[in-house]
């Protein structure tokens, strides 16, 4: 009779071997892992042998399929998460100063916020841009702005995330062109481009083109990055904005993974092999204040994605099955009332992300319900991450809540509910069909309405809003973007237009239009236009002529 625990012991040995190998590759960030009282902290806690069989089948080991306990065998004992503060406002010059300040304060990765005109492909002097230039992010019209944005920041030594979707190909092309000017080959660039246009149709609204050509741009970027920017994450499939629009935790998982399935299918249909591009897929989730639900959500998403990639798409490379994700604390949870309370909310949310095994993290600032964050506020937000990393002890052991009856039960329930949403989307013919029928939008809107009603009725307590109100709100210094920013940006754009080689721009745009009417990959053509200092409005204007614009029609 065979030993019933032989398979379990084999898995344990495989885990230990992987952990040892990882430790050799990644030096421990501290020579000693111990509690404040001096008690040694175990790297990984597992149940007794009698319950190991079900444990291994359902939960597994860190760094091993189905990755419930994390995608790395050593997690934060080998390397802390990337502390990536999302920032960008006004002009490239002002945002560059903020980036240098954050790097000086210990941020380990940059995250760029773009203004609305940049997000939807309009130049700063376009009529559609009036009143929005530099307001919710940095204005980027041409390669000259991107050069200024990263002036003095060596792109071969910093990881950059860019929250941009419809115009993702243009902004990545600008980043590659800046790196070229710094003498940095694209093969050395590390970072992430969001490039997740599907969630724009249901949660955010910064789409330009109809879904089909938008998906073509997404898969073109996959192919370009696979070939030319191999260390770059070519998409960050975002549940964050779905959650910010009002979705539940299960909806955030289900609709995000449904979008991811569509992207994988699109790339495969375009001729890419799943294991060629899937290892560079990344995800982006929200962290809200219900601590245990959020931890369970991250664990459930990891496990569900691993099974989808293995069973649905036949991915062989273990990296293709790993759900690696960035987390941002919940902007929608922040309150204008008693804004200092937001520091506590963000700390709880950041703790949930770390306990859930995030790969990188942005912590929101206390004043973001009122304005763009001040320098003081972003420093407190960053210090929150640093205290968690270096003082709390939560990073000293892997998946410290793993095996908790409550957390494992929540993980199972969230996985089942999310899978139910994926099946419903599949039955409708996929995520594009579900969007066209308004199904995803209605589900999110209904969830948002139910939440709003619970706050209105007092069933759900929000401190400082419907309970424990202050008689007098404290004075809060706010960051304001002056209207002179738009005038300055427009003058700079006109100066670039006057000094560039007009014939070269026209030639590059004509080649881009011809490519868009055909089937070739558009990213190299966009890169040629960017190098010629064509503006984002000119490039997107060409694509608008060919692809048209998406107009939402709700059934």
Name the H helices within 324-374: 341-355
**Is residue 117 domain-shared with residue 200, that is, in the same domain?**
yes
Higher-confidence position of 6 and 517:
517
> What secondary structure letter does DSSP report for 312?
I
How confident is the model at residue 553, as a pLDDT? Answer: 67
Of 89 and 54, the one with more pLDDT: 89
Mean pLDDT on 321-342: 96
Q: Looking at the predicted structure, is the pLDDT value of residue 12 above 90?
A: no
535/217 Cα distance (integer angstroms): 18
Q: How many domains does the chain have?
A: 2
Please report the pLDDT score of residue 4 as a whole number.
Answer: 45
Whether residues 132 and 37 share a domain: the answer is no
Nearest residue to 84 (alpha-carbon basis) of 106, 68, 66, 63: 106
Based on the domain organization, do 125 and 32 belong to the same domain? no
Can you tell me the distance from the alpha carbon of 134 to that of 140, in angstroms, rounded to the nearest whole number?
9
Checking if the pLDDT of 484 tops 80, the result is: yes
- Domain match, 96 and 127 both: yes
pLDDT at 32 over 90: no
Residue 196 is assigned to a structural domain of this protein: yes
Domain range for residue 17? 6-58
Distances (CA, A) of 326 to 73, 119, 282: 18, 20, 8
Position 545 in a domain: no
33-37, 130-134, 297-301, range with greatest mean pLDDT: 297-301
Q: What is the pLDDT of residues 147-164, one digit of tens each?
A: 999 999 999 999 999 999
Same domain, 339 and 244: yes
Q: Both 44 and 177 in a single domain? A: no
301, containing H or E segment: helix 291-307
**pLDDT higher than 60, residue 28:** no
How many residues in the chain? 555
CATH code, 329: 3.20.20.240
Q: Is residue 67 part of a domain?
A: no
Tell me the pLDDT tens digit for each residue of 399-446.
Answer: 999 989 999 999 999 999 999 999 999 999 999 999 999 999 999 999
The pair phi, psi for residue 114, each rounded to 5°, is: -105, 150
Residue 232: strand, helix, or coil: strand
Q: Are residues 234 and 348 in the same domain?
A: yes
- In-domain check, residue 143: yes
Within 10 A of 15 (CB to CB), how many other CB atoms are there?
20
Task: Say if 228 falls within a structural domain.
Answer: yes
> What backbone torsions phi and psi does residue 382 show, to the nearest 5 degrees?
-65, -40
Q: Are residues 147 and 12 in the same domain?
A: no
Per the domain annotation, does 485 fall within a domain? no
**Most distant CA pair in the chain, distance:** 83
Q: Are residues 272 and 379 in the same domain?
A: yes
pTM above 0.85, yes or no: yes
Residues 358 and 217 in one domain: yes
Tokens in use for 367? 């004043």
Q: Assess whether 322 and 260 both reside in one domain.
A: yes
531 domain residue, yes or no = no
Last residue within a domain, chosen from 434, 457, 480:
457
Q: Hey, what are 241's tokens?
A: 């904005």
Together in a domain, 18 and 119: no
């Amino acid at each position: 009779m065979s030993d019933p625990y032989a398979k379990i012991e084999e898995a344990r040995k495989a885990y230990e071997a992987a952990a040892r190998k990882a430790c050799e590759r990644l030096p421990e960030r501290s020579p000693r892992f111990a509690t404040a009282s001096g008690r040694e902290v175990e790297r990984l806690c597992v149940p007794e042998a009698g319950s190991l069989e079900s444990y291994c089948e359902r939960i597994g080991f860190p760094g091993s399929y189905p990755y419930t306990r994390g995608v790395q065998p050593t997690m934060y004992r080998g390397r802390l998460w990337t502390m990536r503060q999302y920032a960008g406002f006004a002009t490239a010059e002002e945002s560059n100063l903020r980036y240098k300040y954050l790097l000086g304060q210990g941020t380990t990765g940059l995250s760029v916020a773009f203004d609305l005109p940049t997000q939807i492909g309009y130049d700063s002097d376009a009529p559609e841009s009036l009143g929005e230039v530099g307001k919710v992010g940095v204005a980027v019209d041409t390669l000259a702005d991107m050069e200024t944005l990263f002036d003095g920041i060596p792109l071969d030594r910093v990881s950059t995330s860019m929250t941009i979707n419809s115009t993702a190909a243009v902004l990545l092309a600008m980043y590659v062109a800046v790196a070229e000017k710094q003498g940095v080959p694209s093969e050395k660039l590390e970072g992430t481009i969001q490039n997740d246009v599907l969630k724009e149709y249901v949660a955010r609204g910064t789409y330009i083109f109809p879904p089909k050509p938008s998906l073509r741009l997404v898969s073109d970027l996959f192919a370009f990055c696979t070939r030319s920017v191999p260390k770059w994450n070519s998409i960050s499939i975002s549940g964050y904005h779905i959650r910010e629009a009002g979705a539940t935790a299960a909806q955030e998982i289900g609709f995000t993974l449904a979008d991811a399935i569509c992207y994988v299918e699109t790339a495969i249909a375009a001729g890419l092999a799943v294991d060629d591009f899937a290892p560079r897929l990344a995800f982006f989730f929200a962290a809200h204040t219900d601590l245990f639900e959020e931890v369970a959500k991250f664990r459930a998403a990891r496990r569900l994605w691993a099974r989808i990639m293995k069973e649905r798409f036949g991915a062989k490379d273990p990296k293709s099955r790993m759900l690696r994700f960035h987390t941002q604390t919940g902007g929608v949870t922040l309150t204008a009332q008693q804004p200092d309370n937001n520091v506590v909310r963000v700390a709880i949310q950041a703790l949930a992300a770390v306990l859930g095994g995030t790969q990188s993290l942005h912590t929101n600032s206390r004043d973001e319900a009122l304005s763009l964050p001040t320098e003081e506020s972003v420093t407190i937000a960053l210090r929150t991450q640093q205290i968690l990393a270096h003082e709390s002890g939560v990073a000293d052991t892997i998946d410290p809540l793993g095996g908790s009856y409550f957390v494992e039960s929540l993980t199972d329930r969230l996985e089942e509910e999310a899978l139910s949403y994926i099946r419903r989307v599949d039955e409708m013919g996929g995520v594009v069909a579900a969007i066209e029928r308004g199904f995803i939008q209605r589900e999110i809107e209904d969830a948002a309405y139910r939440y709003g009603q619970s706050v209105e009725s007092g069933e759900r307590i929000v401190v400082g809003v419907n309970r424990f109100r202050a008689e007098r709100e404290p004075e809060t210094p706010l960051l304001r973007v002056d209207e002179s920013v738009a005038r300055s940006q427009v003058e700079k754009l006109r100066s670039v237009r006057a000094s560039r080689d007009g014939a070269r721009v026209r030639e590059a745009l004509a080649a881009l239009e011809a490519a868009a009417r055909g089937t070739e990959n558009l990213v190299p053509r966009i890169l040629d236009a960017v190098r010629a200092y064509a503006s984002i409005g000119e490039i997107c204007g060409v694509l608008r002529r060919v692809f048209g614009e998406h107009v939402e029609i709700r059934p």
